[in-house]
Amino acid sequence: MLSNKPAKLDFGHPPETIPFWKRLVHEALSLSTPTPFYLFSALPVAERMAELDAALTNAGFQPAIGNRQPKISFRHWLSCKTQPVAPLLRWWREQGRGIEVVSEFELRAARAEGYAPENILVNGPAKHHWLPQFELHALAVNFDSPAELARLLPQAKKLNWRCGVRINTSEEFDPENPQFPTQFGFMPDEAVTALKKLLRAKARIETVHFHLRTNVSSVRVFERAIGEVAEVCRAAKFSPWHLDIGGGVPVRNVLTRGGKVYDGEFGLRSFAQMLRQSAKLFPSLREIWLENGRFISTGSGVLVVKILDVKARRGVRQLICDGGRTLNALMSVWEQHALLPLTERRSEEMLTIVHGPTCMAFDQLARIPLPRSLKAGDHLVWLDAGAYHIPWETRFSHGHAAVWWHDERGLRLVRERQGFRDFWGQWLP
């Protein structure tokens, strides 16, 4: 259900956020950009990274960039699946950081953007069906199942992969059906067997890994999961160099459908301090690995749509726009984001449903009070579109949106809006 509650326009965003995006959107529109489009910027990514780095550094860790290895350090991997946008991959690589991939296409994308194999971490299930084709030395690979390990172990040895094992702790479950486990990783007893097998085979086993889910609500959840992983290591008589805790740091400035913040009980400081304490459970630990997607990139983008038609019926106004949930913002099924008119309209507000152009009642970006004077031709800006929007775009009756990219070098178009030829040209004669 969409909320009928009045939306607080800024959703807790700092005051400079909205003018920052409005300025960039005006600039893109001044270049006669067709809507809908996404506009992504590297600057908010850099800000989130700085915050996370400050918390970790204050807790006593050191950043590990490239091959430098101070005592216990932390290393961020870009979660490619969260925001597979070519200029982001390039910008991130220029910072000397590595990338986490979970599919053949993502691995190829990382290679195409210039990542060296030792700066690529391969995760995800069933990769024994596609990874064998790659003859890449020194990849970091976290195994996900006994079958995968059996198939890939000879290659891991031959190519000197830096191996890890993903462990499915009791803190990991399907968030929509918490009584059921997820399909990922080794159960703890299987993980002990896998670690022993890797040790016996004299493979380069260095890492233990978990990824719990997205938007983990509390630091304690991570702490308990790390405790279970330490138990597995003890049972396997294995001392990892790397503890890879996946992603899951919760998003900011975004509300649940019920109107709650995701990060209400999660502090970055206590997260970092907990990691510092938990690191003591691993006597040979050199690095903590983090693979945060949503926390880092949600705030780095907006979706811009244009109002095409306006209706009023049964006490609500309906704005039919050229983009919306079905095409561009599946996240709106679960989340409420700040949505603002690009040009301020001073008039009485009325409950308004913002629809996309597809023939689905489901296609509703928001149901919030908006100025009654909004009219066809006006633009709306949906904030926090920088995570899991591109991977979940559809081509439902329409083509993909254009994409703009902004970084220290300015603003530029990086993907054209999909035209008919591309939309229909996929079919063989």
Ligand X SMILES: Cc1ncc(COP(=O)(O)O)c(C=O)c1O
- The residues that touch ligand X, with contacts defined as CB under 6 A, are 79, 82, 100, 123, 211, 214, 246-248, 291-295
For residue 178, the minimal CB distance to ligand X (Å) is 17
Using CB positions, name the residue nearest to ligand X: 247
Q: Would you say 275 or 374 has its CB closer to ligand X? A: 275
Give min distance, CB of 80 to ligand X, in A: 9
Rounded-to-integer distance, Cα 192 and Cα 186, Å: 9
Question: By C-beta, is 27 or 51 nearer to ligand X?
Answer: 51
Return left, alpha or beta for 292; rule: phi > 0 is left, psi -120 to 50 is alpha, else beta.
beta
Whole-number Å distance between alpha carbons of 261 and 252:
7
CA dihedral 255, 211, 286, 115 (to 10 degrees): -90
**All residues at 6 or more sequence positions from 392 whose CB lies less than 8 Å from its CB, including other chains:** 330, 331
Please say which residue, 50 or 351, places its beta carbon nearer to ligand X.
Answer: 50
Distance CA 417, CA 30 (A): 16
Around Cβ 411, how many Cβ atoms within 10 Å? Answer: 17
Read off the tokens for 194.
């896998």
Report in angstroms how near the CB of residue 8 gets to ligand X at its nearest: 24
Output the CA torsion sign for 280, 281, 283, 285. negative
Nearest CB to ligand X, comparing residues 21 and 388: 388
Is the CB of 60 or the CB of 391 nearer to ligand X?
Answer: 391
Q: CB of 73: closest distance to ligand X in angstroms? A: 19
H and E: helices and strands count for the chain: 11, 20
Q: Which is nearer to ligand X, 35 or 123 (CB)?
A: 123
Smallest separation (angstroms) from ligand X to the CB of 103: 11
Closest approach, Cβ 142 to ligand X, in A, equals: 8
Provide the minimum distance between the beta carbon of 293 and ligand X in the complex, in angstroms, as a whole number: 3
Between residues 93 and 294, which has the closer beta carbon with respect to ligand X?
294
Give dist(CA 398, CA 388) in Å, integer: 19
Q: What residues pair up with 381 in beta bridges, in sequence order?
A: 304, 340
Task: Report the residue number, 162 or 211, with the smaller CB distance to ligand X.
Answer: 211
> What is the residue type of 251?
V
Which of 61, 240, 275 lies closest to 162, judged by CA?
240
Q: Nearest approach, Cβ of 77 to ligand X (angstroms)?
A: 8
- Cis, peptide link before residue 36, omega less than 30° from 0: yes
Q: Which of 42, 92, 41 is nearest to 65 (CA)?
A: 92
